[in-house]
Amino acid sequence: MQPLLEVNGVVKRFGGLTALDGVSLKMLPGEIWGLIGPNGAGKSTLLNVIAGVFRPDSGSVHFKGQRISGLKPEQICRLGLARTFQICRPFPKMTALENVLVAATFGAHGDRESPMARAEAMLELVGFPVPANTLADSLTAAQLRRLDLARALASRPQLVLLDEAAAGLTPGELADLQQLILKIRNQGVTFLIVEHLMRLIMQLCDKIVVLHYGRKIAEGAPTEIQGNPAVVSAYLGE
Ligand SMILES: Nc1ncnc2c1ncn2[C@@H]1O[C@H](COP(=O)(O)OP(=O)(O)O)[C@@H](O)[C@H]1O
Ligand SMILES: [Mg+2]
């Protein structure tokens, strides 16, 4: 099977700091991958390189067999790769629905569904808990995370990158998010998830990649990662 996403030897430097130091991974369609590692390990940087925010200093990223490193974020989004943000920044003076509508209009188009119908369906899918005409700047952090997810899904992605989507959620909201990710994956969507909550990662992911100082120190099924001495010392060693 052709990998959906292939990251090959990616290096990304910020001045003298090497945030990513030769990271490679290969994801198959329909998989859920977790990306973990201590603060500053390079997780968000890797998502940003994949999404086209940063161009790698060396190495490459391929999506559906096509080289995407070097393309602009909006070009990559149109190809079917969406992401949520560690800090979400919606258009504050637009309603929740309008925010999702922008993504539904901008992303890949379905044959039958109008952008408005798509936007409404995505808010419903994520269980958006307040009226769709609520202004974005009056939403709580948890509501913003759902809005950001609805926005990402509205562009009809085949691959979704989630950056700490579970931060600040209640146990109930967390369970909802977990069910939602599984439901969407069962429709064929692939996920790469950055997350601090080990329980969520262990329960949800088929594969886990561990970054430490920009290097991949482990990759494997949750059970393989759990007892890995390098992983344990990366978390406890500092
Ligand atoms: N835009 C940037 N400019 C300079 N340094 C950055 C930038 N983004 C991230 N870094 C640095 O790169 C390293 C990795 O950061 P990041 O990818 O945000 O880590 P993580 O998401 O794993 O906590 C950190 O040392 C961070 O300070
Ligand atoms: Mg981060």
Predicted confidence at residue 106, as pLDDT, reads 79
Ligand 1 pocket mutation, candidates 10, 12, 17, 216, criterion most atoms within 8 A of CB: 17
Q: Is the dihedral of CA 20, 9, 196, 124 positive or negative?
A: positive
pLDDT, tens only, 42-60 = 999 999 999 999 999 999 9
Rounded to an integer, what distance in angstroms lies between the CA atom of residue 190 and that of residue 231? 25
pLDDT, tens only, 158-184 = 999 999 888 888 898 899 999 999 999
* Percentage above 90 pLDDT, the chain: 76
Q: Which atom of ligand 1 is nearest to the CA of 214?
A: 14
Residue 44 Cβ < 6 Å to ligand 1: yes
Provide CATH code, domain 1-80+157-238.
3.40.50.300
- Helices and strands, counts by H and E, the chain: 9, 10
Residue 129 Cβ < 6 Å to ligand 1: no
Regarding pTM above 0.85, the answer is yes
DSSP code of 187?
T
Residue 40 Cβ < 6 Å to ligand 1: yes
Predicted confidence at residue 218, as pLDDT, reads 96
Predicted confidence at residue 19, as pLDDT, reads 98
Residue 209 Cβ < 6 Å to ligand 1: no
Residue 37 Cβ < 6 Å to ligand 1: yes
Predicted confidence at residue 110, as pLDDT, reads 63
pLDDT-derived band of residue 1, with 50, 70 and 90 as boundaries? Answer: confident
Predicted confidence at residue 24, as pLDDT, reads 98
Q: How far is the CA of 6 from the centre of ligand 1 (A)?
A: 22
Residue 19 Cβ < 6 Å to ligand 1: yes
Highest average pLDDT, of 56-60, 73-77, 227-231, comes from: 56-60
Indicate if the pLDDT at residue 238 is higher than 60: no
Instruction: Spell out the domain ranges in the chain.
Output: 1-80+157-238, 88-156
Predicted confidence at residue 101, as pLDDT, reads 95
Nearest CA to ligand 1 atom 2: 14
Cβ–Cβ < 8 Å for 190, 32: yes
Indicate if the pLDDT at residue 227 is higher than 70: yes
pLDDT, tens only, 76-125 = 999 999 999 878 889 999 999 999 999 998 776 666 789 999 999 999 99
DSSP conformation letters of 118-186: HHHHHHHHTT--S-TTSBGGG--HHHHHHHHHHHHHHT--SEEEEESTTTT--HHHHHHHHHHHHHHHT
* Percentage above 70 pLDDT, the chain: 97
Pairing of strands 215-220, 207-212: antiparallel
Predicted confidence at residue 141, as pLDDT, reads 86
Indicate if the pLDDT at residue 3 is higher than 90: yes
pLDDT, tens only, 21-43 = 999 999 999 999 999 999 999 99
Q: Coil, strand or helix: which one is 82?
A: strand
Q: Which atom of ligand 1 is nearest to the CA of 45?
A: 17
pLDDT, tens only, 147-165 = 999 999 999 999 999 998 8
Q: Is 219 exposed, middle or buried (0-12, 13-18, 19+ CB in 10 A)?
A: middle
Nearest CA to ligand 1 atom 27: 40
